Amino acid sequence: MSIRLAQLVERLGGQLKGDGQTEVRGIAPLDVAGSAEITFLSNPKFRAQAEQTQAAALILSEADDAQVQGYAGARIVTKNPYAYFARAAQWFQQLAAPELTPGIHPGAWVDPSAQVAASAVIGPHVVVEAGAVIGERARIDAGSFVGRGARIGDDTHFHARVTLHHGCEIGERGIVHSGAVIGADGFGFANEAGQWIKIPQVGRVMIGADVEIGANTTIDRGALADTVIEEGVKLDNQIQIAHNCHIGAHTAIAACAGIAGSAKIGKYCSIGGAAMIHGHITIADRVHVSAGTLALRSILEPGQYTGFYPIAEHREWEKSAALVRNLGSMREKIRALEKTLKTLNKADQAAPHDAASPAPQNQEEK
């Protein structure tokens, strides 16, 4: 369960400085790594720690390589040491993972018309309905549900108790965490004399490759057209994505955020925790919405956008909140002051004693 540095560089790239036959058994932070482990320096702040690390090997950037002198072990020089760390850690995790036997657990119910790849692993209490398609090496853990005609790409992993409703699709190398619900009905009703008449939700959820979906996150199916999540999107836990949303590639959304119906979010965006995006608006590419912020209208320029009430001691907040509610009267007072002062100023300017300001002139006048 160890990797030689030469193997690492062969698979993940980077320039090796040191003995390629050196074996490492895991990856750990600078201050924790032992002599059988590899570590990484991704922030120049920690150069001093890098000088002292006990690790067998150090992943670092060219700039840091030039600066770190005292460290005597092997080095892997790469443009993005943090991304290199992530990939190396993935490899070590794969080595440590228990071996799974492909096939369908006897406690699963798989419809005879479903197509499950022979290399897929279907856990106990899983249900796969008619016409569903599950790709090569896909892993569907205990208690998950795959509705009729749904499709799951190669190498995608559903953790325990995931729901993918009928007709919805997710691409290759996806990861879906426990309790996520993909393809429940969108919230659509016609109102008739105060009562709500359900509008059937007949669109699907279409999810690209390399998407990760957090625990208990919900993504609703479209009303008529589809809800779309492009490739590389990362969704944290307990996010709600309403019907007919479109999330652009490589956008990351933090936990507890909500995206209302038909919102369109661009590529390479980040949406902070508990942020809320209103329905039917457009968020441009590379927009960052801060945590706890409600975006009410479209945002068409890249940048960071924020809006939440600043926290304070409770009594301070009570005062400021009362004043916020009375900002209108505060503005009126300012206007009244401006008006009075203008009048006064005119009066003063009219009066002989006051060619007043600036003060020096005034003093000359005395």
Residues marked active site are found at 243
Ramachandran region, residue 181 (left: φ > 0; alpha: ψ -120 to 50; beta: rest):
beta
By CB under 8 A, residue 345 contacts a second copy? yes
Q: Do the strands 163-164 and 195-198 form a parallel or antiparallel pair, or are they unpaired? A: unpaired
How far apart are CB 97 and a second copy at their closest, in Å? 10
Per-residue mark of binding to a second copy, 68-107 (x: CB under 8 A): ------------x-xx-xxx-xx-xx----x------x-x
Alpha-carbon gap, residue 131 to 114, rounded angstroms: 4
How far apart are CB 69 and a second copy at their closest, in Å? 26
By CB under 8 A, residue 9 contacts a second copy? no
By CB under 8 A, residue 353 contacts a second copy? yes
Q: Which residue do the tokens 């304070």 mark?
A: 312
How many binding residues for a second copy (CB under 8 A)?
138
How far apart are CB 165 and a second copy at their closest, in Å? 7
Site stretch for a second copy (CB under 8 A), options 13-21, 46-54, 55-63, 311-319: 311-319
Question: Helix, strand or coil for residue 280?
Answer: coil
Adjacency order of strands within the sheet including 127-128: 109-110, 127-128, 145-146, 163-164, 181-184, 218-220, 240-241, 258-259, 276-277, 294-295
In angstroms, how far is CA 17 from the centroid of its own chain?
35
Residues 130-149 binding a second copy (CB under 8 A) are 130, 141-143, 145, 147-148
How far apart are CB 270 and a second copy at their closest, in Å? 10
Q: Which residue do the tokens 């509008």 mark?
A: 199
By CB under 8 A, residue 220 contacts a second copy? yes
Site stretch for a second copy (CB under 8 A), options 50-58, 64-72, 114-122, 188-196: 188-196
Site stretch for a second copy (CB under 8 A), options 43-51, 68-76, 113-121, 253-261: 253-261
Residue 247 in contact with residue 230, Cβ under 8 Å?
yes
Residues 27-66 binding a second copy (CB under 8 A) are 28-29, 32
Q: Do the strands 189-192 and 212-213 form a parallel or antiparallel pair, or are they unpaired? A: unpaired
Written as six digits, the tokens of 132 are: 């569903």
Burial label for 131, CB within 10 Å (0-12, 13-18, 19+), is middle
Residues 287-306 binding a second copy (CB under 8 A) are 289-296, 303-306
How far apart are CB 300 and a second copy at their closest, in Å? 12
By CB under 8 A, residue 112 contacts a second copy? no
